[in-house]
Amino acid sequence: MLDYLVIAPHPDDAEVGAGGMILMLKAQGAKVGVLDLTDGEPTPHGSPEIRRRETEAATNVLQLDWRGNLGLRNRFLQSDLESRHRLAGKIRELKPARLLAPYWEDAHPDHVAASQLVDAARFWAKLTKSDLPGEPFYPQKIIYYFAVHLRLNIKPSFIIDISPYIDKKIEALRCYQSQFVTGRPAQPRSFLDMIRDYCRHWGWLIGAEYGEPFLCREEVGLRSLRDLI
């Protein structure tokens, strides 16, 4: 039974959009898992075998309690009934209190479909009188993270200070050599440098060194003001 389940279209999306949050939650004692919907392949410098090794390495850096792959097809991801059934069954199995899903607007069709799929599967997971495995279960909330290709000016619901975890986040991303290092220019700014700059921007907005933005469709409640920056 997980406290948080991060659902990602491809291996590396969870690390890009929520790597700092994952590390923070783990440091606070939460049980965190990642479910990759596809293997992310083919890519120019990767293969299924390479991507599996990279994912295992990143999982070790993040110290996840669980990681799995739903086995859907990269580049053909859809929020169809079969995919919804498979994801809802996995939600029932893992029983995460909260879901993290990719933001619903992006140039990559897989990211858009993944966001829609999580919305639908969350609802399906609570249905009675269905052929889904396990008992009905409904995660409390969906939190959307940003791993987008479009350069959008989005106002998030909140920004998390990930300053203590930025180096580990970059270390986890560096595990995906085939995606972020091989074949990419190292000068003047590498892709990993750009991710660090991106996090620095969000941190600057809240008076911290580094941050990650998140968005909720539903309202966000606080039990106290103790942790406000």
What beta strand segments (E) does 39-94 contain?
66-72
For 225, the token pair is 């003001």
What's the confidence (pLDDT) of residue 89? 98
Q: Is residue 151 part of a domain?
A: yes
What pLDDT is recorded for position 187? 80
Residue 222 counted as domain residue: no
Rounded CA separation 68/6 (Å):
11
Q: What's the pLDDT at 79?
A: 97
The answer to whether 33 and 3 are in contact (CB under 8 A) is no
Let me know if 3 is exposed, middle or buried by CB neighbors in 10 A (0-12, 13-18, 19+). middle
> Rounded to 5 degrees, what angle do the CA atoms 119, 176, 38 make?
35
Residue 26 maps to which CATH number? 3.40.50.10320
Place of tokens 């004692």: 29
Average pLDDT (200-211) is 98
How much is the pLDDT for 215?
Answer: 98
Give residue-wise pLDDT tens across range 14-49. 999 999 999 999 999 999 999 999 999 999 999 999
The pLDDT of residue 186: 81
Rounded Cα–Cα distance for residues 89 and 93 (Å): 6
- Specify if 61 maps to a domain: yes
Residue 188: pLDDT above 90?
A: no
Cβ atoms of residues 7 and 101 within 8 Å: yes
pTM above threshold 0.85: yes
Instruction: Evaluate whether residue 8 is within a structural domain.
Output: yes
pLDDT band of 185, cuts 50, 70, 90: confident
Give whole-number Cα distances, 14 to 8, 33, 81, 126, 129, in Å: 6, 10, 24, 25, 33
| Residues found in the chain | 229
In a domain? residue 221: no
- Residue at 226 is within a domain: no
How many CB atoms are located within 10 Å of the residue 104 CB? 17
Q: Compute the distance between CA of residue 111 and CA of residue 113 in angstroms, rounded to an integer.
A: 5
For the chain, what is the mean pLDDT?
Answer: 97
Region 208-226: mean pLDDT is 96
In a domain, 223, yes or no: no
Q: What number of other Cβ atoms are within 10 A of residue 120's Cβ?
A: 17
pLDDT on residue 114:
98
Q: Give how many domains the chain has, as a whole number.
A: 1
> DSSP letter at 134?
S
- Tell me the C-alpha distance between 212 and 143, whole Å: 12
- 80: containing domain: 4-215
44 DSSP 8-state letter: T
Would you place residue 175 in the very low, low, confident or very high pLDDT band (cuts 50, 70, 90)? very high
pLDDT of residue 116: 98
Q: What is the pLDDT of residues 120-164, one digit of tens each?
A: 999 999 999 999 999 999 999 999 999 999 999 999 999 999 999
